[in-house]
Amino acid sequence: MAKKELPKAKKYEGVSQYCPPLNFELVGKSFELVMDSGYDYEMKFVSREKLSYGLLEEEKKEYRYESLKVDDDGTYFVNLEMLQDKEHTVYTFVLDLEQSLVTFVRARMFLNPKLPKLPYTDIVFGAIRKEDGTLPEIRHGYTADMANKAICWRYGANNVIHVYSSERYYRLGFLPEDIARMRANNPNPDGGGLGAPGRMYEEPSDYIKIKEGIYVFNMIEEMACRVLPHRQGNNLLFLMNLNRLYDVGRSYGHNGEAQPENYTYGAFGEYYDASEILARKSSGYIR
């Protein structure tokens, strides 16, 4: 009698299972990115899976990428595969073809010797050279537009409330029914606003205005990194269309099995009254 094979464990997917269909409109196009860091780059979309990228006057390398689109005016979220270097660097670009602008986010790990799985990000603004050779003078930039707003984002049957508590911080919340379910599964949960009464999980964050109604939200799970068993916390980057209450984004860091991850996803949202969450005391930061 043949030995019966045991079912294989399901691969950890996180919210990658909620990634919308990828966008391939950029295939065959190339862009000269003139960054405010003083360097110029060329990005060419070779196929649906690969693009070439590098300094304008140097040899380019090919990378696997995923591209998502959030509006009808040419605003794209382009995420490169995890680069094979010692810092596991990831590149993400917001290409704004309507205004010929670009925002670049570089994320890296293994920079903190005490928390090696804590990611760090650098954000650089720039412009896309137009066909006539000119460059716009304006840039995407940091904003306080999101302060004191809150949105309940829905990933399938899963809900998470992002409370944009100021221009520098965000707080995490859950719907009452989700809190009840979590407490039923774990009577003594911590983090996520379920710890000491009157206190709240809060992280530093970045808010960038791309155009009216289109924003970037960038945050790092530093508190999670300090308390989770594997000492890990991800960098979550979102490109939000608040005109449609829809976003796309990527998670970079380590998954629940402590393996490196870099994947894209999307969600739909609705505004949420977070006055109770906003009234709580910060868990660890001076405002």
What does the pLDDT look like over 201-254, one tens digit per residue?
889 999 999 999 999 999 998 877 777 666 778 999 999 999 999 999 999 998
C-alpha to C-alpha distance for 61 and 228, rounded to whole angstroms: 36
Question: Are the C-beta atoms of residues 172 and 193 closer than 8 Å to each other?
Answer: yes
> Is pLDDT of 194 > 50?
no
d(CA 96, CA 93): 9
Between 87 and 20, the more confident residue is 20
pLDDT of residue 1: 55
CA distance 99 to 135: 10
Instruction: Compute the distance between CA of residue 136 and CA of residue 151 in angstroms, rounded to an integer.
Output: 32
pLDDT at 94: 98
**What is the model's pLDDT at position 273?**
95
| pLDDT for position 282 | 78
End-to-end CA distance of the chain: 68
Residues above pLDDT 90, as percent of the chain: 63
The pLDDT value recorded for residue 49 is 96
